[in-house]
Amino acid sequence: MQINELIKLNKPLILASQSPRRRKLLEQLGFEFEVIPPNAAEKNSRGLPPEELAKHLAEVKAEIVAKQCGSEAIVLGCDTIVVAGDEILNKPVDTKNAIEMLRKLSGKTHTVITGICLIESPSMRKITKAQKTLVTFRELNANEIEAYVGTGSPLDKAGAYGIQDDFGAVFVRRVEGCYYNIVGLPLELLYTTLRTFIDEG
């Protein structure tokens, strides 16, 4: 039995993300869904705390797609941010920026936060949650960092690394919390939130 047999969706499911990693994780649960990437900027200047920022950005993405889909649907919006100390590390703007980020993460523990938002269209009923995971890197040397950045893989990822990558995975010494949250979609949180959302609908 797959999870999609435990949760009976009464409307089509739409993933408001262009991330291939989120698409793969959602497929893993057995759901049929459509992908509609939101036409929205991922930056904001509201000065929100990290967890609230991740939730806000997930809501923005879900709301945009829910308003434009024009039919009944359940829209899933997500946003993942990496927090090192007091600094939020977004996707690097170039290879130099990626190298700087990995140097900051080397030998330290950082926080990965993913916000998820489910919105029902056209009622716009919504529920928003966030998950935190602590990730500790071992000490990285300059050759490792430059070789990894040279693959181009870090350039489309918050914090300039992907734990699911062959190379990025060997940087991680310890994970405290949900692994899938680091990839970009906390599956346990999604399941329980979706179940609550359907039951309350």
* Active site amino acids: 79
Distance CA 34, CA 13 (A): 6
In order, the DSSP letters of 48-62 are --HHHHHHHHHHHHH
Alpha-carbon distances of 199 from 7, 109, 173, rounded to whole Å:
9, 37, 39
Helix (H) or strand (E) holding 46: none
Which residue's structure tokens are 């071992």?
Answer: 138
DSSP class of residue 138 equals: P
Residues 72, 129: Cα–Cα separation, whole Å = 22
Classify residue 136 as exposed, middle or buried by CB count within 10 Å of its CB (0-12, 13-18, 19+).
middle
- 99's tokens: 């190298």
The Cα 14–Cα 35 span in angstroms is 6
Nearest in space to 109 (alpha carbons), one of 133, 136, 85, 83: 136
